[in-house]
Every structure is written in structure tokens, then in C-alpha cells.
Structure 1
Amino acid sequence: MQTPATLMRGGTSKCWIFDSRDVPADRAALTALLIDTFGAQDPRQLDGVGGGTSVTSKAAIVSRSADPSFDIDYLFAQVAVGESVVEWGSNCGNCATAVALWAVDTFDLAHGAPSTEVRMRNLNTGAEVTARVDTEEHEATVSVPGVRGAGTAVDLAFINPVGSTTGSLWPTGNHRDELTVDGLTVAVSMADAGAPVALVEADSLGVSAAATEEQVRQYVPMLRKIRARAAVAMGIAPSIDEAFDAIPKVGIVGPPVDYVTSLGEPVSASDYDVSVRMLSMNNPHPTIGLTSAVAIALATTATDSVLGPVGQPANAASATSTLDVRVITIGTLGGTLRCEVEISADGSRVLLRRAARRLADSQLYVR
């Protein structure tokens, strides 16, 4: 059996995109299809189309939305690497970038304007994401940190992302908590916006805020244990043993310092506001997942979290303006990411600039 699919690069991820009409609606059958086509059970995914890493082992199933408030619905799948598992509990902002560009072309959403707005609903979390796709140039003109290569400009806006999984920005009721793992007590801030995150203070863990990929990898076993305990504290998992590796997203945070990116580019401490080293499943993320960036950006509204007082007010609310705008720049292994946060009486938006590119249109063989 053959199944059509398109391989896209969205931001700093690669994602196989399926039209929902071409794959099973039944979740168990869809899971089996993805495990087989990706070769998920193999750590290198040699007998499948997966990329062998968590940021290249992703899929999205896309359809026209029946809700007039949205143009498309998409279901995100994180396919495991080395296990016969598909995780359905989270969203992926980088893949949303690819979904938006794919939908413009597949569903003929462009109408001759310089840019096309795509209103998207993530079916995993119910999150509302609006993308503005460059349909005038529609060429590879925009680069993002952590990627050597350009793509079509796609601006993303996460609309009212607070509490997407737990119902609260601060699920534990605190801006800062302590968790004890193997006799070590670490300071952790647990927030939920876009995705639930557990942010570990670098100093309390005993690691540099600008750790290299190799240094982060040494802390993966400890970070997995912290994530499991955070999942229970946030109400995501009933017990440590039942916690998943996908959420909450877990990472190390600290103040900005000078460092060199994984691509060999120097970054000055003055270029960004907060240093972040996230995991993607059980490996260091080469940059940062956009949903994690959204959570971090909104968590900066509390100055007593492990992030501290970070971010630059771009347009403070005044008597004539109820809109408060802040800009937060995050330093990651692959480079810096700029997030713009808008907070008003109607809620919040987090805006990010990304890029996407179509890599291949394929027929995947399914056993």
C-alpha cells in the first residue's frame, strides 16, 4: 500500500505532512502506520523515513476545518526514535510553520495578496495558532538560527496560549518550586503556555547556563527524573512511573553569557536575555521548540521565577493603550530566538518569525 506524504522543513524541525483523507481516522491504525513508515523501533530509523532524531521524527495530519473560525485543523505526532511509540499529547510550533506553508499550497488558500493568513487549530491541545505566510515572494529568503539554509517567511502568532494543557500558567500555584532528585534539591519553575515546561535553574543543578550539547547530554538522566516529578506536580501524570518523556518539556535556564553556537557562531551576552538548553524527548534540543519558547516568554511576566527579571518592554501600557508589549530574546545551542509578547485585557499573543521549505513530495510504502 502507498500513502502520499510531503516532507517539510519548518523552523528547526523536519516533519512529514499527511492529508487526513489519505490516512486512517482510527488513532490505533494511524499510530501503526507511523511506526511502520518511520521505522520507529530502530534507533537510526534505517528501515523507514524517520530522520533518526527527535526533531526529524515528526508528523502532522492536516485537514480543512469544519469550524468557520479556522482554516485548517492539524494533529501533531511525535514519533519515537528507538521505540514503537507515537506521542500525541503535545503541539509543535516548528511543524506548525511547515503546516501553514503546506496548507497554502495544498488547499489553495492564497488569493494574490503579499501574504496569506492561515488560522490553524491544533487538535492535540486545542491551541489556536495564526500563521502569516509570505505568498508574494514565496521563495527561500528567510533564515532562522540553527539552520544553514533559507525558507519561505512564516510569522506565527500563538493566541491565548496560557494553560493549554493544565488550564493555568502556573499549575502548581507557585512561580518557583523545589524538587529533590537523588538527594539533590533543584529550583524549578513549572509553567504552561503553548506547552507545559519545567525550567531548572542552572546554578542549582551545578551546570553552566550556556552548557554545550555534550554537557547537556550528561545531565539527561537527571533531567528525565526532574521531568517525571514535575509531571506529577503539574497534574499531567498520576505518578512518576506513568510520566511520559514528551511533556512537560524540560530544560536548563540561566543568565546570559558569551558562548559559541553549535554552528560555530559567537553570541554575546548582550545579544539575548536568558540562556536556555531544552531537551527534545531525551536528547539536547539543537535550538528550542516554539511551544517551549512561548511558555518561557510568558513565564517572564513573573520576576520571581527561575528566569528572573528578563525581557525588554517594547511598549509599556499607558492611559491611552491597554496593550503591553515585551520582547524576550532566548539564547539556545543553535542561536538566538526573538519572541514578542502582547498582553491585553483580551488575553495574550506570542509572535515569532520562522521559515519553512518543501523538501519532497513522496509516496510512502506501508506494509
Structure 2
Amino acid sequence: MNDLLAIPCVLMRGGTSKGPFFLAADLPAGANERDKILLSVMGSGHPLQIDGIGGGNPVTSKVAIVGPATIPGADVDYLFAQVRVDQQIVDTSPNCGNMLAAVGPFAIEAGLVPARGETTLVRIHNVNTGKMIEADVPTPNGNVSYLGEAAIDGVPGSAAPIALTFMDAAGARTGQLFPTGKPVDLIDGVAVTCIDCAMPMMLVEAGAIGASGFETAAQLNADKTLLERLEKLRIGAGERMGLGDVRNQVTPKPVLISRPKSGGDISVRYFMPHQCHPSLATTGAVGIATACINEGTVASVLVGTRKPPVVLSIEHPSGHLDVKLHERDGKVVAGILRTARRLFEGHVFAKPVTQLGCAA
């Protein structure tokens, strides 16, 4: 027997993200010890995460921790952790809607939720934000099905559809849809919309900071001047949103928006926050779509007047993502179609906590 910790783990793709899924009972209960384990598992602090299973990119350096529900009306708890690639930092302030797509299948196969008929509804309590999300998971013959004809931009091939419904996503972090109290703020002379819906974000029209909004992710990642300008605006937005000093946080996410050019309703470039997402975060799509239906935001100026029920098609570097907004019980809910896949299961190995440094 070796001297490393062996931890049960399932590697899963959720939407356009990928990462290890753990049962909460298999990780330390204390956040500090837990985060040290996650940093060891992922290999953070190295650009390739060479000493861990992270993929050297923010969309492949994510962790999902799932356990029994702790609030009424939910089936499971889901804690998301964004593990930084370049620094030894674990951020549990945001949710991740792409990883969320795999929570339902994982929970069913882990025995936390029984399969119920051809489709199983899994009610997920996101611990990060305190919000509820419903996932409809295909379970023909009482088993999770991953094979199907649904396709999402940013993922090759097709798979079984998983419908996610975000219930009352407004104020996920701050308690307010517009944390500054206004749909538009001026920061450093630039008009921005600070919105908190599924994910705290700062939306800015691309042309206002010298971009077209149609650049590739690689082009934007190579533009250090633009990235520095965007980070300065993001730090200012974080302060105004009541998030404090956000230099070591991944929220708010900065988003460049522009008019569509491929038949959609709006075009976006979403940052994570220091690299452009190769496609679009699911939570980001919910917040962007919500900004589009609220008058006075920088997004509504581009798309015109839209009211629920409505489907908004958001263009991103890999294609489109559609968000359906409709009302339920007097509140706007957002529906998005995603897919997921189980990649491998077994044990991941971590250094003992006593051998690890402090986690941020």
C-alpha cells in the first residue's frame, strides 16, 4: 500500500466542462483540509497541472461535490469548486451550470436519488448560491442513459438531453438582480451592467473597450492590453456589487457583448475571468438572457424589447446556446438543454494533508 490518499472519484463531462465528482462523505468536512486535497488532486500551481488530473484550462479544472440534501424540497446538495490552474486557490463562491448537468446522473448512479420512470427529476440545491435547479435526467429502464441525439455547441457528437431549469436565479450571490441598484453604471468612463443572476457578471459592449466582440478566444487571450482593461473594470464592478476585493475571486465574470452576426439575438465573449471561455458558461447564459429582458441594461439596448415567454439565442465562440425564459409562480425561470457523460470511475490519489501547504 502506498503512502498517498486514495479517494473514490468519478470523472465526468458536464456540458462544456469536465472535472472530478466526489461524494461529500469522501472528502474532509473542513473547508481548509478539503481545499488542500483538491489542489493536490488537480495539480494546481502549474500551467499544465502536470502533477494532477486538471487539464490546464479553467473549464477542465473544476470539481463537483455532491451529497444528501440539507434543505427541504431538494434531493441533493451540490457544491462547486473552481480550482485555479496557475495559482493554488480554490474558489467556491460561484456556481457552474455546465458541471451541474452531470450532477443528476452522478447522484442517481451514486444511489442518492432513485430512478423514477423514463425521466427522473433531480432537485439540486446549489450550496454555493443557495438556489434550486431542476434537472430532468433520461433514465429508461431505470438506468441513466448517456446516449442520444442531443447536440450542444462546444462538444463533439451527440448525447442524451438533460434539461436544466434554474429556479429564481436572481441574486445568487448578492441577493439582488442589480447589486448596484441600477441597470447601468459608469466605471472608468465605460457603461457596464452589473448583474447577479445565476452568476455575478459585468456586461460591457465590446466596442466600448476597443474590441469587435467577434474575436476568437485565442485572439482575446493574447490581447494583454484588453485583458488588463477588462480586469480593471471587473475589480471596480466587484467593489460596487458589494463583493469586496475580487482579485483572488473568479466573480464577477466579465462579458463582452455585441450585436449578433449568425442569426442569434446577441453575441458574447465570456471570461473566466482572465481567459475567454471557448464557448459559454451555462450560468453565464442565464444571466445574459435575463439582462436582455430587463430595460436599461447594456444588453437590452442591443436586442430591443423582449419579454417572457421568450427563447433567446446567444452566439459564442463555438456556436449558439439557447435560453428559454418563462414565468412560474410569478417568477422568471430559465431553461437550458445540456448533455453529460461519465468518463471514468475509480480512485484519485492525493498527498496526505500533513504534506500539503496552506490552501487559499
- The verdict on a shared fold, with TM-score over 0.5 as the criterion, is yes
DSSP 3-state at the match of 1:283: coil
Aligned counterpart, 2:95: 91
Aligned counterpart, 1:212: 216
Aligned counterpart, 1:338: 322
Structure whose residues are more often strand by fraction: 1
- Equivalent residues, number: 339
Q: Deviations over 1:218-261 (max 9, x none)?
A: 12222122111110011111x4xx5434000111001112xxxx
Q: Deviations over 1:183-227 (max 9, x none)?
A: xx3221111110111011112111112222233221222212211
Q: Distance in 2 between matches of 1:249 and 1:80?
A: 14
Query: 1:4/1:345 Cα in 2 relative to 1: closer, same or farther (>3 Å)?
Result: closer
Tell me if structure 1 keeps the 8 A contact 2:206–2:258: yes
Aligned counterpart, 2:15: 11
Tell me if structure 1 keeps the 8 A contact 2:68–2:112: no
* Amino acid across the alignment from 1:224: E
Q: Do residues 302 (structure 1) and 298 (structure 2) align? A: no
DSSP 3-state at the match of 2:107: helix
Tell me if structure 2 keeps the 8 A contact 1:3–1:22: yes
DSSP 3-state at the match of 1:21: helix
Q: 2:66 aligns with which of 62, 65, 69?
A: 62
Q: Distance in 1 between matches of 2:243 and 2:328?
A: 28
Q: Do residues 355 (structure 1) and 347 (structure 2) align? A: no
Q: How does 1:1-367 map to 2 (within 5 A)?
A: 1-107=5-111, 109-136=113-140, 138-141=145-148, 142-180=150-188, 185-217=189-221, 218=223, 219-237=226-244, 239=245, 242-257=246-261, 268=262, 271-307=263-299, 308=301, 310=303, 324-343=308-327, 346-367=330-351
Q: Deviations over 1:64-91 (max 9, x none)?
A: 1143411000111000101111011110
**1:338 CA drift (Å):** 0.3
Tell me if structure 2 keeps the 8 A contact 1:327–1:341: yes
DSSP 3-state at the match of 2:159: strand
Q: Distance in 2 between matches of 1:328 and 1:15?
A: 28
Tell me if structure 2 keeps the 8 A contact 1:311–1:326: no
Tell me if structure 1 keeps the 8 A contact 2:43–2:53: yes
Q: Deviations over 1:126-183 (max 9, x none)?
A: 0111100111281322221011133332110000011111111111121112211xxx
Q: Distance in 1 between matches of 2:253 and 2:92?
A: 14
Q: Distance in 2 between matches of 1:328 and 1:53?
A: 28
Tell me if structure 2 keeps the 8 A contact 1:176–1:304: yes
* Amino acid across the alignment from 2:334: V
Q: Distance in 2 between matches of 1:10 and 1:152?
A: 12
Aligned-CA RMSD value:
1.7
* Amino acid across the alignment from 1:48: G
Query: 1:366/1:337 Cα in 2 relative to 1: closer, same or farther (>3 Å)?
Result: same
**1:312 CA drift (Å):** 8.5
Name the stretch that deviates more: 284-293 or 103-112.
Answer: 103-112
Q: Distance in 1 between matches of 2:134 and 2:275?
A: 29
Structure 1 residue runs of 4+, over 4 Å off?
A: none
**1:311 CA drift (Å):** 7.4
DSSP 3-state at the match of 1:294: helix
Q: Distance in 1 between matches of 2:255 and 2:154?
A: 18
> Structure 1 regions of 5+ residues with no counterpart?
258-267, 317-323
Tell me if structure 1 keeps the 8 A contact 2:12–2:343: yes
Q: Distance in 1 between matches of 2:339 and 2:50?
A: 28
**1:290 CA drift (Å):** 1.1
* Amino acid across the alignment from 1:167: G
**1:309 CA drift (Å):** 5.1
What TM-score does the superposition give when structure 1 sets the normalisation length?
A: 0.88
Query: 1:108/1:32 Cα in 2 relative to 1: closer, same or farther (>3 Å)?
Result: closer
Q: Distance in 2 between matches of 1:29 and 1:111?
A: 33
